Copies of this chain bind each other. A is one copy, B any other.
Amino acid sequence: MWKPDRQSKKPLYEQIADHLQQRIAYSEFPPGSLLPSERKLAEQLGVNRSTVVQAFAELRSIGIIESQTGSGTRVSMSKWGATPKYTPNWNRYAESGNFLPNPAFLRRIREALNQEPSLIDMASGDLAGDMAPIHEITKLMSENQYASYLGYDNPQGYIPLREALVTFLDKYRSIPSTPSSILITSGSQQSLFLITQCLLSPGDAVAIEDPSYCYSLPMFHSAGLRLFRLPIEERDVYPETIRNLYKKHRIRMVFLNPNFQNPSGTVFNVQRRKSFLDAASELGLPIVEDDPFSLTAYNGPVPPSLKAIDANGTVIYIGSFSKIAASGMRIGWMVAPNAIVERLADARQQMDFGLSVIPQQVVAQFINSAYFEPHLERLRMQLQFKRDLLIESIENELPGLMTYEAPKGGLHLWCKLHPDVQDGKLLEEAIKRGMVFVPGSVYGSDASYVRFNYARAKADEIGPGIAKFAAALRELM
């Protein structure tokens, strides 16, 4: 993206004024629209705020923009001469529709990372660049011709990828399936979007774990669902809770993340899986089993998935390539009864007309290749190593100030803070010092928690990241 040229003889403020004038002329900022604030522009362009103030003054002097105290800087309505023309009220359009914006904290984190790429990222939910199988995939791509078919794909997804997943699901998760029972999606995100938008109606009640990744997903609110909580520390009584919720609120679906739950890191044990599945089966209540982390288990496999022990077709199973290899491929999968897979494949055609064939071909070959198993082994070792580094740093920097349980798989550490600490203020202090994490309230948590992702940062950033976090925390205590 554009930045001013510091080698140029032209002053920075003039370069910025020219750049903005161009974007205004191109209608990226139409007449009457609001410009980004001086602070935001200064951060985006990597200059002092005073330079932006000077650029704005320049544009104001030639009548292109107008500033009013308290309402920001706008493009002049009159800039294009005397003819009275009107621009659509784009801000009103931007506020329409059913889609709520992402939670403010998540937008703040993304904005901070865009503006300052050197921030130590312990927030984003994916793997570090050096943990993705980049060399293996590059090698496969140079050896094979992935561009041999470039037309529209089958609505359920590329058939050889579904065939590869039948073997994969059987081998790693003991899930019996056929290609016709699998839908390929753009990661778990699209699976959840399809389920919440197409299988449920506004006003429907659903149960989700508390804390849960689902709270961070405005899609649940966008779909008009009523959310009921299954507190994670009460997993023993989930079957009882779900029977009560069903009686009282006619719960229509349950969302579970049984392995290395995001954010708590806990694992649902075998006994509870069975009794919970029995309860749901009795009620005819569908379970959505979100299982992105099970293959990262550091100390041997996790219990069988709910889908593997589901004899009644009660479970919709969701998996993804994102947390075990590369989020940028945007490949996820769903195993569900035939009526559901066909319905969602048809609805997805309306949204995006399916996925690109190329990443599907690449992932199919990678999963089938001899590279896959060694990649997983290396990934598990790297994750465990980083988890240990993180815990060591916390013990060094913040002894006794946070409580947590060391996860045995996954990417996250969930830490409880002193209840007086406001997680939002803490985030701002941490950004100032050069790191980001996710505040616990994003996951629906009432108490003060933070989630660190130890997979995203490089190993040698984890110590410094926690040192910055510790400085931010001390500032507030």
Interface residues, chain A, with chain B CB atoms under 8 Å away: 1-2, 22-23, 25-31, 33-34, 80, 84-91, 93-94, 96-99, 101-102, 107, 110, 114, 124, 126-127, 129, 132, 134, 137-138, 141-142, 145-155, 159, 176-181, 185-187, 189-190, 193, 197-201, 204, 217-219, 222, 252, 281-286, 310-315, 325-331, 337-340, 342-343, 346-347, 349-359, 362
Whole-angstrom distance between the Cβ of A32 and the nearest chain B Cβ: 9
Q: Is the CB of B178 within 8 A of A151?
A: no
Hey, which chain B residues are within 8 Å of A340, CB to CB? 90, 93-94
Hey, which chain B residues are within 8 Å of A84, CB to CB? 282
Hey, which chain B residues are within 8 Å of A354, CB to CB? 186, 330
Q: Is the CB of B329 within 8 A of A178?
A: no
Hey, which chain B residues are within 8 Å of A96, CB to CB? 198-201, 204
**Docked complex Cα distance between A152 and B25 (Å):** 32
Q: Is the CB of B357 within 8 A of A219?
A: no
Q: Is the CB of B30 within 8 A of A337?
A: yes
Chain B residue nearest to A79 in the complex (CB): B311
Extra inter-chain contacts (7) besides given A88-B314, A99-B197, A147-B362, CB under 8 Å: A26-B176, A26-B181, A28-B337, A85-B311, A151-B328, A356-B359, A358-B358
Hey, which chain B residues are within 8 Å of A311, CB to CB? 27, 80, 85
Q: Is the CB of A312 within 8 A of B132?
A: no
Q: Is the CB of B152 within 8 A of A147?
A: no
Hey, which chain B residues are within 8 Å of A145, CB to CB? 138, 141-142
Hey, which chain B residues are within 8 Å of A102, CB to CB? 346, 349-350
